[in-house]
Amino acid sequence: MTLNEMREILKSRDLQLTKSLGQNFLHDSNQLRRIVAAAELSPADRVLEIGPGLGPLTELLLASGAPVLAIEKDARLATFLRERFAQEARLTLRHDDALAFLQRAPDADGLGADWSAWKLVANLPYSVASPILVELALHPRGPERMVVTLQLEVAHRIAAAPDTDDYGVLTLLLGLNYEHGGLFKIPASCFFPAPDVESGCITLRRRTRPLLDEREAKVFVRVVKRAFSQRRKMMFKLLKAEWPEDRLHDAFGRLGIPPQERAEKVSLELFTDFSRLLAT
Averaged pLDDT for residues 50-74: 96
Averaged pLDDT for residues 151-161: 97
Predicted pLDDT of residue 20: 67
* Identity of the amino acid at 109: D
Residue 17 pLDDT level (bands cut at 50, 70, 90): confident
**CATH fold of the domain at 214-279:** Helicase, Ruva Protein; domain 3 (1.10.8)
Q: Are 91 and 85 in contact (CB under 8 A)?
A: yes
Write the pLDDT tens digit of every residue in 237-279: 999 999 999 999 999 999 999 999 999 999 999 999 999 999 9
Averaged pLDDT for residues 44-57: 96
Return the percentage of the chain with pLDDT > 70, whole number.
96
pLDDT of 34 strictly over 60? yes
**CATH fold of the domain at 3-206:** Rossmann fold (3.40.50)
Please tell me whether residue 35 adopts helix, strand or coil conformation. Answer: helix
Residue 76: Cβ-neighbour burial (10 angstroms; 0-12, 13-18, 19+)? middle
pLDDT of 109 strictly over 60? no
Residue 15 pLDDT level (bands cut at 50, 70, 90): confident
pLDDT of 112 strictly over 80? no
Q: Is the peptide bond before 131 cis (omega within 30 degrees of 0)?
A: no
What is the DSSP secondary-structure string of 124-164? --GGGHHHHHHHHHTSTT--SEEEEEEEHHHHHHHTPPTTS
- Single out the residue of 101, 138, 125, 147 nearest to residue 218, CA to CA: 138
Predicted pLDDT of residue 111: 53
Q: Are 279 and 175 in contact (CB under 8 A)?
A: no
- Single out the residue of 271, 253, 255 nearest to residue 263, CA to CA: 271
The pLDDT mean for the chain works out to 94
What order do you get walking across the sheet with 91-95 strand by strand?
91-95, 68-72, 46-50, 118-123, 145-151, 199-206, 178-186
* Number of neighbours of residue 234 by Cβ within 10 angstroms: 16
- Single out the residue of 170, 151, 145, 148 nearest to residue 159, CA to CA: 170
More confident residue, 18 or 152: 152
Residue 106's contacts (CB-CB under 8 Å, 6 or more residues apart) are 112, 113
pLDDT of 218 strictly over 50? yes
Domain ranges for the chain, please list them.
3-206, 214-279
Predicted pLDDT of residue 108: 45
Q: Are 168 and 198 in contact (CB under 8 A)?
A: no
Helix then strand then coil, % of the chain, to nearest 5: 45, 20, 35
